[in-house]
Structure 1
């Protein structure tokens, strides 16, 4: 089934969660003047007041264009504004020059004439770029207090044993994992379908080529993935932070087979380092309104793990007497198609010729799929890759909340197995739930 991956709407944050080391880059305090922000003809009565810029939208498509600023295109930025409005609920930032729909981020306005703060995350701002704010779509009264731009660092964790990074330009998925002090990542990021990321399936495959579906991936099921789509677009970030050793990210994923189509769901991820292991909790929250896909049972990748081509030995335990240190099996598969097997100790690993690599453990999944694509050898950006996914067969409804936990373990088979044996009997979240849950191991505090 998993043969793929070898070939924007944002919401108001009325309580902003600041990443630990976000740096203020630009701040426009409109109580002191217009500061180079100019309105178009759909805006009238444009005045500077003690509350900020006060104006009326008198026609469709009102907007303000800010001054040109020198940005760094390799960085990630969060744009925040404070505004009150009685117009409509549609707000949008355009970024870069020239302005274009593909370089925009929408946010939902609360049009109750009270103050609210809204944030969007943007990347790919070229040097000498500008911002354009569309505060609404139609008529109404708006007051804009300020706009702030913060540099947001990539989310990174290092505990002295492992180093890990989450890619905010790719849905916050795990893009880098290595022993501390090493500069060689064990994770393959050749395209948007790689990484270590969330991936879910619902419904039967359907042909949507007339709507922009890739012919390579047609027909295809409903398949939101964390990083982006087969066309190279990336999933926008809704929220991110690092606190007390835990990294958190929330994104609006894209449908893998489609051309920049937002999936009607959110994905969240909590990540923490524990010695030579990475503990992850994932959550999918669906709010689908489509009627395209009938309800069916589908395999779910929990998660999808893609490693560098140097890790080309796929090992697991498939015996009938687990938890007794029995002999492991090396699976020889040149996929796709990938190999399916039952891992009776709920783990599998990809190792290099010296027996060092990455294992994945999901105690709620005995069935696995995986293999190796390409020629042995290769690093993070190369085409060759190893693949593992613990899988469960689940039906995802239009309003499903699905949670699960897993671990990545860096080391030898002995290290992987020693960790897995230490976790035997420990309960991990796994499966659909009517309300989101929290586990004792990951308890983020939103402030």
Structure 2
């Protein structure tokens, strides 16, 4: 399958080129030339299939033309060595728990899948010294770093905003060593993302190094997140509640909800989506006004959503032909302050004993306030609450059990390089490698 750029000024690319390059030469994001509709029989029997079987069928629609079936199946099955259960929370609202992977965050699937797919292309083409640049507002860095840890021929550079990720999140990528280097940027997530994008566009750098990205700008990172939506539908269908399914997605850089929109284009019967924002409500404002006005991000307690210029907005626009009315017909938006997030997290814990994390709290509240009669709501609980330990314990006034996986990360010694947000400094560093 061929991939085109959202800016329409670059040549068509193969899957391998799209994955290895990450970003098109015209600074656009790669999109598959066609989105295949899955057959009715798949949806009729989906509740009888395992998560891995469902994911393979979805992956085959995107990558099957370019990756041998046995290799793709191995990548999918190795990536999904864990489950994502659907948990009833209140009434017709369910949590899809996406935090059962190695770093206890939803990005584990995309990170692990991309590491294995990129590894396949590296071996196939005999590539050496591939450098992965990834900007993180919290969970992307840990998922990508752990997904690529020890992968031969690849070195990962994680750029993260100083003082703006939780201690546990930071430890999950700054303590690994080996082929992972952490760069602590004196700025915001948007500054980190801008550095990565600028690096891809710099001719001198690209002659010196083979660069790619593992942010959701990379098709191999964001497309596998579509697996979750199909599995959520399968679990609801098994319960006899799959009609009028509404998905609420805590939204930052919009890779996750974009993957869900792709799922709908493939035939997945989702009634509508809700993009749940914190105070970084650029997409919410777009839905209200039809105008997209990016601005510097604001620090909140739902830090992984602190994005002021979401990259994947370009894909959403492209998917719907730049039609505000078409986008608004399928996606509604909400925006919540830190105070509202705290209030939601606390009340749900007191009333149901279900513990949300700050991002999931946005997704839950959007359903609580916006679910209509006859609809069934699923919100994506994107990370384990213990990853935001101090914040969550301060809200619920109770102790949070820290999973063993996180305890092990906390024992490690943080190692990172501090750097300014100026591209000249970042470029100089990369040229010295």
Structure 1 length-normalised TM: 0.27
Identify which of structures 1 and 2 has the higher relative contact order when contacts are C-alpha pairs closer than 8 Å and 6+ apart. Answer: 2
Q: Give the number of the structure whose residues are more often strand, by fraction.
A: 1
Structure 2 length-normalised TM: 0.27
